[in-house]
Amino acid sequence: MTAMTKTAAQEQVYRHIDVRPLAGSLGAELIGVDLSNLSDEAFAEIHRAFLEYSVVFFRDQSLTPDQHKAFGRRFGELNIHPTYEPLPGHDEILAVVKDKDAKHNIGDTWHTDVTFLPEPPMGSILYAREIPPYGGDTLFANLSMAYDALSDGMKEMLEGLNAVHSNAYLLGGKEGDEDRNKTRSTKLREDKRQEMSAVHPVVRTHPETGRKCLFVNEAFTVRFENMTRAESQPLIDYLVRHAARPEFTCRFRWAEGSIAFWDNRCTYHYALNDYHGFRREMHRVTVNGDRPV
């Protein structure tokens, strides 16, 4: 089910939270929620909205790192990022930081998180700790809607096709990436600099909603299985451009205390790097997922 204007039936479904859609494609702000003191009934409705809108947003939250992790654990086991250094004392939290004198940020490509793992994450919960006075918005794209909009011929061609995903991009595997890593504030773990890869279907089926969605991305998809990179790249580029069409996206403006929780199985996100000279610090908790099918 794609995001849409709230109907009378949905008004009856959501009794413990106020759901306000952000765009026609995906995304909704959930109002009247304190994630540090969450009833089972409110949690169930948050989960329902998460599946319906693919990314949900919360405002004016005040969470300790332990409370942030506790909310994530209600959805499943937490992931420890395989490449970046964690927040000191909290292995399950990734501090996504850009200092005011840093040139590059993390996430300025259309991507789905760490798809180079055999079991990519179910979702990520990003919490704004310090934000610039302007800029730094995050864009999201609906990969189920993007798949639905493909022609029947393209869907038939993609059916059964697999793709290789790699973390080479994070390690400096493309020209210029090593310089980017050196100028980022969040650093790579020196003990985890080995290349990792996994093979996933180009079209996956969401394990909870049953919807099909594209599962290739700009950052980590390097080629199709049994094909060269040169042969694969034109179609990968097309699919990424197609999925990022404006009508499939929403845009979120951050404020201190805001949280975004996105479904990593059926969305892209893109972190805008347009706040040079200002510091930005976000804390991310990621929930483990399953093997795409």
Q: Tell how many helices (H) and how many strands (E) occur in the chain.
A: 8, 15
Annotated catalytic residue, options 68, 211, 269, 283: 269
Active site residue 137: no
Is residue 286 a contact partner of residue 72, using CB atoms and an 8 Å limit? yes
Site of tokens 């909310």: 71
Q: CA nearest 95: which of 70, 135, 128, 123?
A: 128
Tokens of 34: 């304190």
| CA 274 to chain centroid | 19
Active site residue 108: no
Cα torsion 76, 171, 110, 202: sign: negative
Annotated catalytic residue, options 68, 81, 90, 113: 113
Annotated catalytic residue, options 111, 165, 200, 265: 111
* Measured torsion, CA atoms of residues 81, 262, 48, 199, in degrees rounded to the nearest 10: -60
Active site residue 284: yes
Fill in the amino acid letter for 51: L
Active site residues: 111, 113, 269, 284
